[in-house]
């Protein structure tokens, strides 16, 4: 268990909440992995893709805006839509928003292949 950024929500609840938010965005190929047994970095990794800078921006902004309404803010944000990879760190949950090209290049799904898949939304 890592530091909690979201009092009142469990890590699983936050991860599923972010996945739910993604259903109203242009995000594709959403995958939620439970990495508790494999990493001290976080309990869950959420991965999703966008096809261009505009989509990456829309996805990250929607997550930030919706969670902010609930008083939840990331501990840290890294990357930009122009870089093709945005990371939103909520402590126990880390959301990775990739361009399709960078997601194929870094292949985090393969790196964490042994981690249980909590959900997958195509």
Write the CB contacts of 54 (distance below 8 Å, at least 6 apart in sequence): 81
Q: Domain 11-121 belongs to what topology? A: Beta Polymerase; domain 2 (3.30.460)
Per-residue pLDDT of the chain (122 residues; tens, 9 = 90+): 344 455 578 999 999 999 999 999 999 999 999 999 998 889 999 999 999 999 999 999 999 999 999 999 999 999 999 999 999 999 999 999 999 999 999 999 999 999 999 999 98
Beta strands in 1-122 (DSSP E): 28-34, 44-50, 76-78, 85-89, 93-99, 117-121
Write the CB contacts of 32 (distance below 8 Å, at least 6 apart in sequence): 15, 16, 19, 44, 45, 46, 47, 117, 118, 119, 120
């Amino acid at each position: 268990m890592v530091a909690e950024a979201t009092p009142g929500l469990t890590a699983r609840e936050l991860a599923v909440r972010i996945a739910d938010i993604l259903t109203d965005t242009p995000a594709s190929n959403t995958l939620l992995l439970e990495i508790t047994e494999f990493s001290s970095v976080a309990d869950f990794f959420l991965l999703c893709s966008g096809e261009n800078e505009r989509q990456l921006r829309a996805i990250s902004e929607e997550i930030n805006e919706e969670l902010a309404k609930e008083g939840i803010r990331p501990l840290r944000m890294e990357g930009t839509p122009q870089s093709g990879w945005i990371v939103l760190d909520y402590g126990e949950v880390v959301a990775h928003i990739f361009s399709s090209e960078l997601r194929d290049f870094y292949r985090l799904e393969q790196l964490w292949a042994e981690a249980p898949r909590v959900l997958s939304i195509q």
